[in-house]
């Protein structure tokens, strides 16, 4: 069943080809192709265990640990920088924790050049304090722009998209000795984790706050491993969110507090007559989260077995998550209380996964409530630090991450197996081949745009597409201000502003309104101040502040301009955007009255903006919709990294759930599938080892 009209060895005019790598070596043999890279010389060390990925990291607390990788060793088990490191190596002074690794030096020609903003950290209990190595203020590095000569030879995998789902999967494979190429269509790396600058103001594209980043948490442990401890997270205020219902005044806000007791006690204090309803809500949310293991089991079991389990009827009895997944948030909350204000407060966080309360799964909502119970964090130095601290790891393994590399199609061989991608470079099409193709472009982009028509028509793919729909699109406003956050009275707390307390009704009214009327009835604003969250901001951008505001919008309101080039869509498009920007700012000025005459830069981003910069098919923020249908057991089991197309895998938020942490777990599931081992179990084992008591640590003689 031939699918590639220009197979390797038969170049077509205008098409450059990068040869298919040689087949995988037999177990236990050297990997000679690695010797092509002068930064990765050598042959496997004698006696090297060859056990890939996290569980074989060098652990100084474990006497059975294989020890640090030998110089030049290239077997899959240790041809990488160790994930863990010894802060006090033999014959080295302990002052200042000199044993902490410095960031790897990128290979020549790469774009990662600045010193990190975050201090280097020692993860071993009892180690000396970290040495702060702060770089001069600098913007995120421009990516290495794609060209055929920057593609490494002998690729093991190609990843489409550089969001956290793509970068995390690439790092995991790199730590298993795989050479990975990540291709990003945009000029900035990181997907929704990238930052951009306009008129001297820096803005985050999508990371506004992340939960479960407290020391000792599993999420923090995973991120520390993926960034080798170089990414620092700053806690937000104890009241990380504030909810305003009605007139947008901060004095009227309900402040959501950090901590399980504080979160629910704050509700009981505000609604003293609703203790029973609040207690039941607490019990339900905690119960649902305790049943999350079922989600992992459904994705890890072979698909036929997972489907059998779904049809058995056992899951609702075994897992509270599955039992509550088909019930809507509105249905559950309305059944708990008749108090309209309490209903709104219990539901306020639904925009963080993008589904109306009447369509949102209560299980999905419970996951988000639990996600922030221990507080919220922000990446020190801005969201761009995430990509900055992951890309060198990929490069050190011989891979690369390239921007302005729009993938046009996934190539299939004569047997229907994924074998490469085609990338547009000017008027030329470059074909790149690898034995594994991973897409972080999202389910709809992968299946409907990148696959050939005959693969798209496969019943299994059509079945998956029939289970899901596009999420709601977003509209953003980016504001640059003269004056520091302190001078302007800006807070690090995020504000959720609603014009009333019937959240579902005002959302429905807005989303069913006409384009001309929509801006008059905006139902919700998320108002956040990156400059107030980041302790390095004043050093990097003195005398300036920024705001970002996000709301929903229908793709159809802007669709008529979808084929026009960016920044050249005409006056009618700009006028429509301005009506939304003006309506948004009218509310924001009431929230922050001191900023009205301090605006130096303001810009609106429509669903078409999202479509252009983060390649979301219809301007959606969170990929496929997280409604009750998506959260049902059979859909969970079906949305997995493996696809019906051999050698093609999915990663990111469409594999698991939305957001930074959801996409991160999507990458873990994806890398597990590619490496044929359970990386979640590897993480659990490694975390257990690193949490050994300090007095068990023995310095090597």
Span 254-272, pLDDT tens digits: 999 999 999 999 999 999 9
| pLDDT exceeds 80 at position 87 | no
- In the block, residue with structure tokens 């008591």: 693
Q: Domain extents for the chain?
A: 15-141+149-206+381-458+645-696, 236-377+469-613
Over residues 658-664, mean pLDDT? 95
Q: How far is CA 447 from the centre of its chain?
A: 20
Is residue 366's pLDDT more than 50?
Answer: yes
By C-alpha distance, which of 558, 575, 533, 377 is closest to 474? 558
Asked if the model's pLDDT at residue 415 lies above 90, the reply is yes
Higher pLDDT, 5 or 254: 254
The pLDDT of residue 127 is above 60: no
**Nearest 5 degrees, angle CA 239-CA 241-CA 247?**
115
Provide the pairing of β-strand 428-433 with 15-18: parallel
Q: Is the model more confident about 415 or about 120?
A: 415
Helix (H) or strand (E) holding 686: helix 679-690
Per-residue pLDDT, 251: 79
pLDDT band at 219 (very low <50, low <70, confident <90, very high): very high
pLDDT at residue 641, as a whole number: 97
Q: Exposed e or buried b for every residue in 639-674, given b needs 16+ CB within 10 A? A: bbbbbebebbbbbbbbbbbbbbbbbbbbbbbbbbbb
Count CB neighbours of 514 within 10 A. 8
Which secondary structure element, helix H or strand E, spans residue 220, and what is its range? Answer: helix 218-226
Average pLDDT score over residue span 635-664: 96
pLDDT, average across residues 460-478: 96
590 neighbors 527 (Cβ within 8 angstroms): no
Measured between alpha carbons, how far is 175 from 663 in angstroms, rounded to an integer?
19
Mean pLDDT of 533-543: 96
Decide which of 251 and 509 is more confident: 509
How far, in Å, CA of 518 to CA of 69, rounded?
60
Name the β-bridge partners of 626: none
Higher pLDDT, 17 or 378: 378
pLDDT higher than 60, residue 109: no
Rounded-to-integer distance, Cα 515 and Cα 521, Å: 11
pLDDT of residue 690: 84
Q: 68 with 160: CB under 8 angstroms?
A: no
Quote the pLDDT of residue 59. Answer: 38
144-145: strand order across its sheet:
144-145, 400-403, 180-183, 157-160, 437-439, 648-650
- Does residue 158 contact residue 436 with C-beta atoms inside 8 Å? yes
Integer angstrom CA distances of residue 446 from 21, 453, 614, 654: 23, 12, 14, 11
Q: Is 59 helix (H, G, I), strand (E, B) or coil?
A: coil
Query: What superfamily would CATH give domain 15-141+149-206+381-458+645-696?
Result: FAD/NAD(P)-binding domain (3.50.50.60)
Residue with tokens 């700053």: 234
Instruction: Name the helix (H) or strand (E) containing 476.
Output: strand 473-482
Mean pLDDT, residues 49-78 taken together:
35
In the sheet where 210-211 sits, what is the strand order?
210-211, 376-379, 233-235
What is the C-alpha to C-alpha distance for residues 355 and 629, in angstroms, rounded to an integer? 12
Residue 51: its pLDDT value, please? 35
Least confident of 23-37, 145-159, 336-350, 678-692: 23-37
- Secondary structure (DSSP) of 350-408: GGGTT--TTTBBHHHHHHHHHHTTT-EEEETT-THHHHHHHHHHHHHTT-EEEES--EE
Closest to 377 measured CA to CA, from 217, 485, 266, 524 = 217
Nearest to 325 by CA among 354, 287, 351: 287
- The answer on pLDDT for 106 being more than 90 is no
Phi, psi values for residue 15, rounded to 5° = -120, 115
For residue 491, name the pLDDT band (cuts at 50, 70, 90). very high
Task: Check: CB of residue 404 under 8 Å from CB of residue 145.
Answer: yes
DSSP string, 72-112: T--STTTSS--SS--SS-TTS--TT-TTSPPPPPPPTT-S-
- In the chain the first and final C-alpha atoms are separated, in Å, by 62
- Contact assessment for residue 130 and residue 120, using Cβ atoms and an 8 Å cutoff: yes
Mean pLDDT of 384-395: 96
Nearest to residue 606, comparing CAs of 555, 649, 564, 663? Answer: 555
Query: Residue 113 and residue 558: Cα distance in Å, rounded?
Result: 39
Query: Exposed, middle or buried by CB within 10 Å (0-12, 13-18, 19+), for 24?
Result: exposed
Grouping H, G, I as helix, E, B as strand and the rest as coil, residue 202 is strand
- Confidence at residue 632, expressed as pLDDT on a 0 to 100 scale: 94
C-alpha span between 204 and 301 (Å, rounded): 37
Helices (H), 468-549: 485-488, 503-511, 515-518, 530-533, 537-540
What integer pLDDT is reported at residue 80 of this predicted model?
A: 34
Identify which of 150, 307, 169, 330 has the alpha carbon closest to the alpha carbon of residue 672: 169
**Mean pLDDT throughout 648-670?**
96
d(CA 28, CA 70) in angstroms, rounded, equals: 16
Please write the tens of the pLDDT for every residue from 571-622.
999 999 999 999 999 999 999 999 999 999 999 999 999 999 999 999 999 9
Predicted local confidence at residue 663, as pLDDT: 96
Is the pLDDT assigned to residue 347 strictly greater than 70?
yes
Mean pLDDT of 82-89: 33
Three-class secondary structure of residue 288 per DSSP:
helix
Neighbours of 696 (CB within 10 A): 10
Q: Which residue has the higher pLDDT, 635 or 697?
A: 635
Q: Which helix (H) or strand (E) holds 453?
A: helix 453-456
Q: List the Cα angle 248/254/258 in 5-degree steps.
A: 135
The mean pLDDT of 383-398, rounded to a whole number, is 96
Residue found by looking up tokens 């909502």 in the block:
365
Q: Is the pLDDT of residue 43 over 60?
A: no
| 77-91, 243-257, 467-481 — most confident range | 467-481
Q: What percent of the chain shows pLDDT beyond 90?
A: 75
Instruction: Please tell me the distance from the alpha carbon of residue 189 to that of residue 32, in angstroms, as a whole number.
Output: 31
pLDDT of residue 73: 32
pLDDT at 300: 92
Residue 108 has pLDDT above 90, yes or no: no
Indicate whether 74 pLDDT > 90: no
> What's the whole-number average pLDDT of the chain?
82
Q: Residue 381: its pLDDT value, please?
A: 95
Q: Output the pLDDT for position 78.
A: 35
Which one has a higher pLDDT value, 622 or 54? Answer: 622
CA-CA distance, 518 to 506, in Å (whole number)?
A: 11
Classify residue 470 by its DSSP letter.
B
Question: What is the average pLDDT across 122-149?
Answer: 46
Can you tell me the mean pLDDT for 635-647?
A: 96
Q: Rounded to whole angstroms, how far apart are CA atoms 109 and 496?
A: 44
Cα angle 681, 683, 688; round to 5: 100
CB 553 within 8 A of CB 580: yes
Q: How far apart are CA 86 and CA 122, in angstroms?
A: 8
Alpha-carbon distance 184 to 139, whole Å? 19
Q: What is the pLDDT of residue 250?
A: 80
CA 501 to chain centre: 31
- Collapsing DSSP to helix, strand or coil, 328 comes out as strand
Once rounded to an integer, what is the mean pLDDT over residues 367-375?
96
Distance, CA of 471 to CA of 625 (rounded, Å): 4
pLDDT digit string, tens, across residues 13-40 = 344 566 554 444 333 333 332 222 323 3
107 pLDDT more than 60? no
In a 10 Å sphere around its CB, with 0-12 CB exposed, 13-18 middle and 19+ buried, how is residue 7 labelled? middle
Count the residues in the chain.
701
């Amino acid at each position: 069943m031939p699918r590639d009209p220009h197979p390797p060895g038969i170049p077509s005019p205008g098409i450059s080809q990068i040869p298919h790598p040689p087949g995988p070596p037999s177990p236990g043999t050297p990997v000679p192709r690695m010797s092509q890279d002068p930064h990765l010389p050598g042959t496997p060390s004698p006696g090297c265990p060859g056990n890939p990925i996290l569980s074989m990291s060098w652990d100084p607390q474990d006497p059975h640990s294989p020890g640090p990788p030998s110089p030049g060793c290239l077997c899959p088990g240790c041809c990488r920088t160790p994930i863990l490191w010894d802060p006090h190596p033999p014959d080295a002074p302990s002052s200042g924790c000199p044993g902490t690794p410095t960031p790897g030096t990128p290979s020549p020609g790469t774009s990662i050049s600045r010193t990190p903003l975050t201090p280097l950290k020692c993860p071993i209990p009892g180690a000396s304090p970290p040495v702060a190595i702060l770089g001069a203020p600098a913007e995120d590095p421009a990516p290495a722009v794609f060209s055929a000569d920057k593609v490494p030879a002998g690729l093991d995998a190609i990843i489409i998209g550089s969001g956290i789902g793509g970068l995390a999967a690439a790092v995991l494979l790199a730590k298993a000795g795989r050479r990975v190429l990540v291709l990003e269509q945009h000029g900035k790396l990181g997907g929704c984790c990238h930052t951009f600058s306009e008129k001297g103001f820096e803005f985050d594209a999508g990371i506004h706050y992340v939960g479960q980043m407290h020391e000792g948490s599993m999420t923090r442990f995973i991120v520390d491993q993926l960034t080798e401890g170089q990414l620092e997270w700053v806690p937000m205020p104890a009241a990380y969110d504030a909810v305003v219902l009605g007139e947008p005044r901060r004095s009227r806000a309900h402040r959501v507090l950090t901590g399980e007791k504080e979160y629910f006690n704050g509700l009981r204090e505000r609604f003293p007559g609703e203790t029973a309803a609040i207690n039941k809500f607490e019990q339900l949310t905690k119960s649902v989260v305790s049943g999350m293991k079922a989600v992992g089991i459904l994705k890890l079991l072979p698909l036929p077995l997972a489907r059998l389990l779904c049809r058995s009827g056992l899951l609702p009895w075994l897992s509270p998550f599955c039992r509550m997944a088909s019930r809507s948030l509105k249905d559950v909350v309305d059944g708990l209380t008749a108090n309209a204000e309490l209903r709104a407060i219990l539901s306020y966080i639904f925009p963080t996964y993008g589904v109306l309360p009447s369509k949102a799964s209560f299980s999905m909502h419970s996951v988000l409530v639990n996600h922030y119970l221990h507080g919220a964090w922000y990446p020190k130095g801005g969201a761009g630090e995430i990509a900055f601290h992951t890309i060198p790891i990929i490069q050190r393994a011989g891979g690369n991450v390239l921007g302005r590399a729009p993938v046009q199609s996934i190539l299939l061989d004569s047997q229907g197996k994924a074998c490469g991608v085609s990338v547009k470079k000017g008027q030329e099409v470059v074909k790149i081949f690898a034995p594994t193709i991973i897409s972080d472009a999202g389910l709809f982009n992968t299946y409907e745009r990148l696959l050939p028509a005959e693969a798209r028509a496969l019943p299994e793919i059509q079945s998956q597409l029939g289970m899901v729909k596009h999420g709601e699109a977003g509209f953003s406003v980016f504001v640059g201000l003269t004056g520091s956050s302190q001078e302007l009275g800006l807070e690090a707390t995020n504000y959720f502003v609603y014009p009333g307390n019937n959240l579902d009704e005002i959302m429905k009214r807005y989303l069913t309104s006409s384009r001309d009327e929509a801006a008059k009835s905006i139902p919700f604003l998320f108002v956040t101040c990156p400059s107030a969250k980041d302790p390095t901001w004043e050093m990097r951008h003195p005398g300036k502040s920024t705001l970002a505001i996000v709301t929903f919008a229908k793709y159809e309101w802007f669709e008529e301009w979808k084929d026009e080039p960016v920044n050249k869509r005409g006056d009618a498009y700009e006028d429509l955007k301005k009506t939304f920007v003006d309506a948004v700012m009218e509310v924001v000025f009431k929230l922050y009255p001191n900023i009205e005459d301090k605006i130096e830069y303001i810009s609106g981003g429509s669903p078409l903006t999202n479509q252009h910069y983060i390649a979301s098919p219809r301007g959606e923020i969170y990929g496929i919709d997280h409604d009750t249908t998506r959260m049902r057991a059979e859909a969970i089991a079906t949305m997995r990294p493996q696809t019906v197309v051999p050698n093609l895998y999915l990663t990111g938020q469409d594999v698991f759930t939305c957001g930074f942490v959801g996409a991160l777990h999507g990458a873990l599931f994806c890398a597990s599938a590619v490496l044929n081992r359970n990386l979640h179990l590897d993480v659990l084992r490694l975390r257990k080892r690193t949490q050994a008591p300090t007095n068990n640590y023995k310095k090597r003689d």
